[in-house]
């Protein structure tokens, strides 16, 4: 079975040691046959078994885990001491430390340069590089480490993983196999065996990526499915529900501790936290607004600043910024480093999201893993998620606006009818004053409807407003809505009021809170009738507004409301806006009454 047997025999006979052996022609074929049957067959069986072990590595493991397991097999088969894997990162132009066996990543350099290194030379020429004596090798720079470990020689094998798309780069790297022997002589057989195992390892990684692409398609369908299922529910789109359903299903991409969606202000000076996972546990304060300049990494993304770092602790690209080590990166503020330590976050991925070329949002993914690399297909899945969440956010705002159109629309129709009736009667001083009053109300309410429509994109600017005046104004509009809906036996009461309750907020937000609470309180009044009462007061640092109605709220509904999970859309909107305004909402029971207390930070 041996190929070119005659040529092989002639080559052996030329060896000095072979010349001393009898030249009987029958001896050599018998020797070769014996070697084939007793040596090669055993060796090939061991090699095939070892290759099968590599091919059968579970593709569900992470790439570092797959590579670590494969290098363990290679070390054992080749009788080596240890092995490491480095992958070329074309964005950073450096060799990235990916894994090792035995695992000692904490003592390894994260990056080494492509030029002037053994790993770089293997990647550039795609050929095996042998180092019989590491201490004498000029391309091996960190000799102190190998001295400490006892490594004396190494074999560096190229690792190539083909891309699957026309414009996708091949992944290239190197497997460095270390030996304890000094001045080691590497045989052609072990070099070929090592290269064979490296090629089979490429097959395992390629299979994993094919499975991931299939999984990525399923995840994209899942993301869209969750959004449209939520859209079809009675309560409409709720970002918190989408996050809670979608993010856990991305766990196989990254061991995520948390994830957040931020919107970027039109002037690019601030970002607002729109949604996050998980909501509980102090991770996310929805509505938190902070300056772009307070976080260097966000400033870099939003303002597209020049980056001159060495990419040792972060990877900066036009598509994303990956902070490999938050504690050592200069792009992370001290407060965020503290947060990362507290929640054991070991890497952070930032993905900017653009609409028609304009930066409107960005997403962050906080991983528990010491993640050093994200593949393009993983980044693409995260970007797809971000784009779909932007669509969901717009649908959520549309749902909110449509819900909050009802009361002002009903009141406006009532005032318009009353105004027309006055215009049809003979004009008097009294009617002229009433017409002016109704016209002012119609102007205010139609302007407010316009603001609600515009809130799909923005909510204006924060301003100082008088909480008492806003509550009294919305109470009057609700009074008209009650009249238009012919609701009977509702007795309205006002006061007492504190005239000096000033707060800084978005006026539209406060109006929406009061509209929803007044509307819900009105609907909660029993059919036989009852009271609807408002009052305001100061309580320490809080400006407080109370809305009381006849009727009892169950403990279950009370807890659901305070958690933002009330059955109606208005409960969800109110709870979210209160959090945005850094306020609180409380519910207290009286004798057959329920009181909602809104607390907002009071200005001095």
Question: Do 117 and 236 fall within a single domain?
Answer: no
Give the DSSP H or E segment for 394. Answer: helix 376-404
In CATH, what number is assigned to the domain containing residue 464? 3.30.565.10
Mean pLDDT calculated for residue range 141-150: 83
Strand partners, 568: none
More confident residue, 225 or 347: 347
Mean pLDDT calculated for residue range 316-343: 87
pLDDT in tens, 493-536: 988 899 989 998 878 788 888 888 888 888 888 888 899 999 99
pLDDT for 241: 66
Inform me whether the pLDDT recorded for 363 exceeds 80: yes
**Domain range for residue 4?**
1-48
Mean pLDDT calculated for residue range 104-127: 78
Last residue of a domain, one of 180, 210, 240: 210
Does residue 22 form part of some domain?
yes
**How many structural domains comprise the chain?**
5
Last residue of a domain, one of 356, 388, 420: 388
pLDDT in tens, 285-309: 666 778 888 888 888 888 876 676 6
Does residue 395 form part of some domain?
no
Does residue 219 form part of some domain?
no
Mean pLDDT calculated for residue range 353-372: 80
Are the beta carbons of 571 and 473 closer than 8 angstroms? no
Mean pLDDT calculated for residue range 20-41: 62
Inform me whether the pLDDT recorded for 217 exceeds 60: yes
Closest C-alpha to 287, from 105, 506, 474: 506
Does residue 79 form part of some domain?
yes
Question: Do 436 and 466 fall within a single domain?
Answer: no
pLDDT for 236: 52
Are the beta carbons of 394 and 413 closer than 8 angstroms? no
Per-residue burial over 402-432, b = 16 or more CB atoms within 10 Å of its CB, e = otherwise: ebbeebbbbbbebbbebbeebeeeeeeeeee
Question: Do 443 and 492 fall within a single domain?
Answer: no
pLDDT in tens, 438-496: 676 676 666 666 565 555 444 456 788 999 999 998 888 788 777 766 677 888 998 88
Does residue 578 form part of some domain?
yes
CA dihedral sign, ordered 178, 179, 184, 189: negative
Does residue 216 form part of some domain?
no
Question: Do 522 and 554 fall within a single domain?
Answer: yes
Does residue 521 form part of some domain?
yes
CA distance 191 to 213: 33
Mean pLDDT calculated for residue range 388-401: 64
Give residue 231's pLDDT band: very low, low, confident or very high (50, 70, 90): very low
Inform me whether the pLDDT recorded for 22 exceeds 70: no
Question: Do 278 and 323 fall within a single domain?
Answer: yes
Question: Do 454 and 465 fall within a single domain?
Answer: no
pLDDT in tens, 585-596: 888 888 888 999
More confident residue, 481 or 117: 117
Last residue of a domain, one of 9, 29, 48: 48
Question: Do 468 and 453 fall within a single domain?
Answer: no
Least confident of 55-69, 82-96, 215-229, 380-394: 215-229
pLDDT in tens, 163-183: 766 566 778 889 999 999 999
φ and ψ at residue 81, rounded to 5 degrees: -95, -45
Question: Do 443 and 471 fall within a single domain?
Answer: no
Average pLDDT over the chain reads 77
CA distance 536 to 473: 13
Closest C-alpha to 260, from 230, 219, 290: 290
CA distance 574 to 555: 19
- Alpha helical stretches, state H, 249-319: 296-302
More confident residue, 148 or 179: 179
Question: Do 156 and 199 fall within a single domain?
Answer: yes
Q: What is the pTM of this model?
A: 0.48
Inform me whether the pLDDT recorded for 367 exceeds 90: no
Question: Do 489 and 574 fall within a single domain?
Answer: yes
Q: Quote the radius of gyration of the chain (alpha carbons, Å).
A: 35
Residue given tokens 């012919």 in the structure block: 486
pLDDT for 369: 79
In CATH, what number is assigned to the domain containing residue 68? 3.30.450.40
Report the percentage of the chain scoring pLDDT > 70: 68
Question: Do 373 and 239 fall within a single domain?
Answer: yes
More confident residue, 588 or 48: 588
Question: Do 273 and 131 fall within a single domain?
Answer: no
CA distance 289 to 286: 9
Does residue 374 form part of some domain?
yes
């Amino acid at each position: 079975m041996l190929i070119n047997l005659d040529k092989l025999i002639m080559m052996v006979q030329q060896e000095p040691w072979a010349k001393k052996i009898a030249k009987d022609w029958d001896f050599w074929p018998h020797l070769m046959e014996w070697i084939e049957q007793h040596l090669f067959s055993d060796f090939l069986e061991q090699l095939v078994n070892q290759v099968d072990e590599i091919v059968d590595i579970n593709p569900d493991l992470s790439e570092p885990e797959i590579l670590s397991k494969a290098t363990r097999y290679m070390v054992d088969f080749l009788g080596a001491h240890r092995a490491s894997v480095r992958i070329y990162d074309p964005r950073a132009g450096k060799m990235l430390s990916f894994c090792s066996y035995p695992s000692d990543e904490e003592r390894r350099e994260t990056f080494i340069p492509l030029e002037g290194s053994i790993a770089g030379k293997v990647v550039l020429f795609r050929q095996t590089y042998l180092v019989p004596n590491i201490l004498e090798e000029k391309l091996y720079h960190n000799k102190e480490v190998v001295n400490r470990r006892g490594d004396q020689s190494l074999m560096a094998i190229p690792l190539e993983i083909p891309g699957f798309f026309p414009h996708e780069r091949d992944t290239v790297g190197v497997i460095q196999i270390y030996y304890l022997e000094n001045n080691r002589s590497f045989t052609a057989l072990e070099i070929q065996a090592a290269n064979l195992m490296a090629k089979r390892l490429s097959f395992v990684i390629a299979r994993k990526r094919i499975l991931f692409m299939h999984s990525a398609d399923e995840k994209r369908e899942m993301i869209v499915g969750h959004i449209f299922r939520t859209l079809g529910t009675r309560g409409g789109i709720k970002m918190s529900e989408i996050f809670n359903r979608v993010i856990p299903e991305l766990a196989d991409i990254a061991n995520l501790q948390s994830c957040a969606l931020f919107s970027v202000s039109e002037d690019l000076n601030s970002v607002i936290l729109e949604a996050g996972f998980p909501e509980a546990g102090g991770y996310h304060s929805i509505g938190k607004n902070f300056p772009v300049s307070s976080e260097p990494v966000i400033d870099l993304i939003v303002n597209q600043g020049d980056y001159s770092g060495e990419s040792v602790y972060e990877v900066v690209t036009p598509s994303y910024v990956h902070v490999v080590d938050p504690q050592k990166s200069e792009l992370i503020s001290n407060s965020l480093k503290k947060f990362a330590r507290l929640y054991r976050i070991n890497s952070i991925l930032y993905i900017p999201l653009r609409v028609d070329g304009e930066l409107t949002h960005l997403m962050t993914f906080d991983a528990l893993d010491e993640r050093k690399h994200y593949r393009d297909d993983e980044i693409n899945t995260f970007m797809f998620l971000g784009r779909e969440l932007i669509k969901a956010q717009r649908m959520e705002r549309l749902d909110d606006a449509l819900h909050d159109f009802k009361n002002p629309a009903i009141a406006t129709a009532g005032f318009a009818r009353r105004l027309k009736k006055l215009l049809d009667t003979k004009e008097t001083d009294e009617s002229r004053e009433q017409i002016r009053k109704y016209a002012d109300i119609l102007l205010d309410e139609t302007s407010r409807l316009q603001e609600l429509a515009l809130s799909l994109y923005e909510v204006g600017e924060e301003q100082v407003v008088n909480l008492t005046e806003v509550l009294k104004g919305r109470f009057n509009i609700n009074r008209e809505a009650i009249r238009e809906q012919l609701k009977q036996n509702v007795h309205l009461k006002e006061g007492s009021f504190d005239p000096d309750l000033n707060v800084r907020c978005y006026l539209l937000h406060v109006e929406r809170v009061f509209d929803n609470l007044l509307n819900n309180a009105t609907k909660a009044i029993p059919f036989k009738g009852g009271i609807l009462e408002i009052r305001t007061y100061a309580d320490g640092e809080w400006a407080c507004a109370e809305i009381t109605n006849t009727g009892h709220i169950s403990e279950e509904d009370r807890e659901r409301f305070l958690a933002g999970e009330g059955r109606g859309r208005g409960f969800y909107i109110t709870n979210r806006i209160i959090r945005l305004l850094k306020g609180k909402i409380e519910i207290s029971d009286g004798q057959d009454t329920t009181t909602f207390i809104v607390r907002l930070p009071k200005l001095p």
